[in-house]
Amino acid sequence: MVRLVLVLGDQLTPEIAALRKAEKSRDVVVMAEVAAEAEYVPHHPKKIAFLFTAMRKFAAHLREQSWRVSYTRLDDPENAGSIPGELLRRASEFGARAVLATEPGEWRLIHALQDVPLDLTLLPDDRFLCSHGEFADWAKGRKALRMEYFYREMRRKTGLLMDGDKPEGGKWNFDHDNRKPAKADLFRKGPPEAQGDSVLDEVLDLVEARFPANFGRLRPFSYQTDRAGALRALDHFIEHALPDFGTYQDAMLEGDPHLYHAVIALYLNAGLLSVLEICKRAETAFHDGHAPLNSVEGFIRQIIGWREFVRGIYFLEGPDYPARNVLNHQRALPAMYWGGETKMNCMAQAIGQTRDLAYAHHIQRLMVTGNFALLAGVDPGQVHEWYLAVYADAYEWVEAPNTVGMSQFADGGVVGSKPYVSSGAYIDRMSDYCQSCHYRVKEKTGARACPFNLLYWHFLIRHRDRFESNPRMAQMYRTFDKMDDARRETVLAEAAEFLDRLSSGETV
Ligand code: FAD
Ligand code: DLZ
Ligand code: SF4
């Protein structure tokens, strides 16, 4: 009897488990653009356009490979509006009872599939190096889960950058060579821009018509939308940016949104690239003498370390994870995140770039927009929804642990051992943003004091009971305590007053 083979928008590879298990001669592949997926958060128009175009091209590719594909477009009058609805519709069309699916990357959709009254086989998503079981075994009995130790296991497991059973270069981690600020360079090559085509044009018109109010600029659109294009983006990164990736991975520059970053997470997460092919390309670049170890190790760590680690956490911690809020932060997400005015240049740059490109690099996400939300005590649920909506690479399995855990410390320290907070000095050191800001980064109090400077102390004092005994934070409290009483009072009062203005909707 015919079976339905579900392929979701972020499962666009012939290697996906459900397709590997399916039989071309008998089964029907089901793919669907549906309102439920396009609207569970107000996704950036570029993200929707990227996925729908990549889905349509992947469906065409499968047909070329002789698969029978039932593809539903968003504007199809028969569209049932949700993945379960589409499965039921196709089941009755083909007289099918059984569905083969690969586990979705979000609890919401896993539960929705489990509720469909069809005979569902849910296969593990083995695009990842570490299965849920392996991660649970690794985590078992550990007092704290630390990425660095998990990463070493993944290095051993894959053999990447290993010299026998020792790490290449004698060390697991070369981060002390990294984290330098960058200088403007007119010859730095950003990611390659894709040419438009008729599939993309049709999707752009659809997205423009259906999602006119979503935050984010749809055009110009230059992301790759198929495997060949994603491979070109990977080649381009290895050739032009990987050698300097490590050294400048934390740098931020006005007018240079990509620096030496790969801009491949959107392709990798959607299935257009695979973990091992990316990492092996980087490793070969090291062995060929094209890229130094600090860059290649740092890059591979992000993918087989952080990326696998956060996925492990998402599935280990369970469906309530995105709703955690241990710091009890309740402030509404300020309007500036949705494009409202701000006088803070770092925020304007990171958010403006997000609006234009559906992209910001890690340090912009963590140490600018994330840092500000945490210092200001914004409700982490609202922060989570924002990150899930605005980035082209965002799916809950990867976004939630990064946002709720790493960035907002709302999980109480599952992902990180301390909150990522900083005053303006860090942003000033790593970027050129402060040079053209309304505020003055060197000023600690007064009308023009950098808000990060004020809020940094306000955050630490608000949460003194929780963090004072953390050995990695004790020095910060000692610094605060050494200030004279009047200065401490001024800082906290000005921070509180800033927060009031922020909440009242004033442009800050
Ligand atoms: P590069 O900087 O070139 O890094 C190379 C690759 O490493 C990335 O493509 C990505 O696959 C991987 N990687 C790097 N850091 C991480 C990380 N912390 N977690 C997982 N993978 C990582 N990444 C997403 O893929 N989707 C998200 O929704 C997402 N949300 C984030 C939210 C916050 C608050 C923060 C702080 C980080 C988030 N990240 C997310 C991680 C990281 O910022 C992005 O993976 C990266 O910026 C993507 O750009 P790139 O491809 O140029 O990456
Ligand atoms: C993100 C997304 C969007 C915007 N639209 C669709 C869609 O119409 N059809 C689909 O199959 N998948 C879509 N996706 C990706 C899913 O939301 C994603 O598979 C789940 O969030 C699990 O990661
Ligand atoms: Fe951001 Fe403060 Fe620098 Fe302005 S002065 S760009 S607000 S860190």
For residue 44 the two structure tokens come to 């950036």
pLDDT, residue 503, reads 97
pLDDT, residue 137, reads 98
Residues linked to residue 28 through DSSP beta bridges, in sequence order: 4, 68
Pocket lining: 450 vs ligand 3, CB cutoff 6 Å: yes
pLDDT, residue 201, reads 98
Distance 10 CA to ligand 2 centre (A): 6
Distance 442 CA to ligand 1 centre (A): 30
Which of helix, strand or coil describes residue 471? coil
Q: Give the closest ligand to the alpha carbon of residue 206.
A: 2
Pocket lining: 344 vs ligand 3, CB cutoff 6 Å: yes
pLDDT, residue 225, reads 98
Q: Which atom of ligand 3 is nearest to the CA of 349?
A: 6
What are the distances in angstroms from CA 143 to CA 131, 147, 311, 414? 21, 13, 19, 10
The 3-class secondary structure across 283-352, one letter per residue, is HHHHHCCCCCHHHHHHHHHHHHHHHHHHHHHHHHHCCCHHHCCCCCCCECCCHHHHCCCCCCHHHHHHHH
Whether the Cβ atoms of residue 20 and residue 121 lie closer than 8 Å to each other: no
The structure tokens 């809950």 sit at: 396
Contacts of 76 (CB under 8 A, 6+ apart): none
Q: Which amino acid is it at 200?
A: L
Q: Classify strands 162-163 and 166-167 as parallel, antiparallel or unpaired.
A: antiparallel
Spell 333-356 as b/e; 16+ CB within 10 A means b.
bbebbbeeebebbbbbbbbbbbbe
User: What's the burial of 220, exposed, middle or buried (CB within 10 Å: 0-12/13-18/19+)?
Assistant: exposed
pLDDT, residue 43, reads 98
Please name the residue whose Cα sits nearest to atom 2 of ligand 2. Answer: 37
Distance 112 CA to ligand 2 centre (A): 13
Pocket lining: 451 vs ligand 3, CB cutoff 6 Å: yes
Q: Give just the sign of the alpha carbon dihedral 157, 160, 166, 172.
A: negative
Q: Give the closest ligand to the alpha carbon of residue 368.
A: 3
Pairwise CA distance, residues 450 & 437, whole Å: 9
Pairwise CA distance, residues 377 & 256, whole Å: 29
Contacts of 225 (CB under 8 A, 6+ apart): 50, 53, 54, 57, 194, 199, 200
Per-residue model confidence as pLDDT tens digits over 215-247: 999 999 999 999 999 999 999 999 999 999 999
Pairwise CA distance, residues 445 & 484, whole Å: 14
Pocket lining: 38 vs ligand 3, CB cutoff 6 Å: no
Contacts of 400 (CB under 8 A, 6+ apart): 314, 321, 322, 384, 388
Please name the residue whose Cα sits nearest to atom 1 of ligand 3. Answer: 346
Distance 61 CA to ligand 3 centre (A): 48
Pairwise CA distance, residues 267 & 144, whole Å: 31
Pocket of ligand 2 (CB under 6 A): 8-10, 32-34, 37-38, 43, 48, 51, 104-106, 109, 395
Q: How far apart are the first and last CA of the chain?
A: 63
Strand order in the sheet with 68-72: 68-72, 28-32, 3-6, 98-102, 119-123
- C-alpha angle 306-309-315 in degrees, rounded to nearest 5: 140
Regions of the chain where pLDDT drops below 70: none
Distance 357 CA to ligand 2 centre (A): 19
pLDDT, residue 183, reads 87
What pTM value is reported for the model?
0.98
pLDDT, residue 164, reads 95
Q: Give the closest ligand to the alpha carbon of residue 34.
A: 2
Q: Give the closest ligand to the alpha carbon of residue 105.
A: 2
Pocket lining: 346 vs ligand 3, CB cutoff 6 Å: yes
Spell 110-141 as b/e; 16+ CB within 10 A means b.
bebbeebebebebeebebbbbebebbeebeee
Which one, of 278, 313, 290, 269, lies nearest residue 104 by Cα?
A: 269
Pairwise CA distance, residues 143 & 223, whole Å: 42
Distance 321 CA to ligand 3 centre (A): 32
Which one, of 234, 278, 4, lies nearest residue 118 by Cα?
A: 4
Pairwise CA distance, residues 159 & 208, whole Å: 46
Which one, of 434, 41, 387, 52, lies nearest residue 205 by Cα?
A: 52
Whether the Cβ atoms of residue 50 and residue 263 lie closer than 8 Å to each other: no
Pocket lining: 433 vs ligand 3, CB cutoff 6 Å: yes
Pocket lining: 363 vs ligand 1, CB cutoff 6 Å: no
Q: If phi over 0 gives left and psi between -120 and 50 gives alpha, with beta otherwise, what is residue 380?
A: alpha
- C-alpha angle 56-60-64 in degrees, rounded to nearest 5: 170
Domains of the chain and CATH, by start: 3-123 (3.40.50.620), 132-316 (1.25.40.80), 335-503 (1.10.579.10)
DSSP 64-104: HTT-EEEEE-TT-TT--SSHHHHHHHHHHHHT--EEEEEPP
pLDDT, residue 474, reads 95
Pairwise CA distance, residues 368 & 452, whole Å: 9
Distance 357 CA to ligand 3 centre (A): 22
Q: Give the closest ligand to the alpha carbon of residue 237.
A: 1
At residue 404, φ and ψ (nearest 5 deg) are: -65, -35
Pocket lining: 428 vs ligand 3, CB cutoff 6 Å: yes
Distance 265 CA to ligand 1 centre (A): 6
Pairwise CA distance, residues 86 & 78, whole Å: 9
Q: Which helix (H) or strand (E) holds 177?
A: none
Please name the residue whose Cα sits nearest to atom 8 of ligand 2. Answer: 33
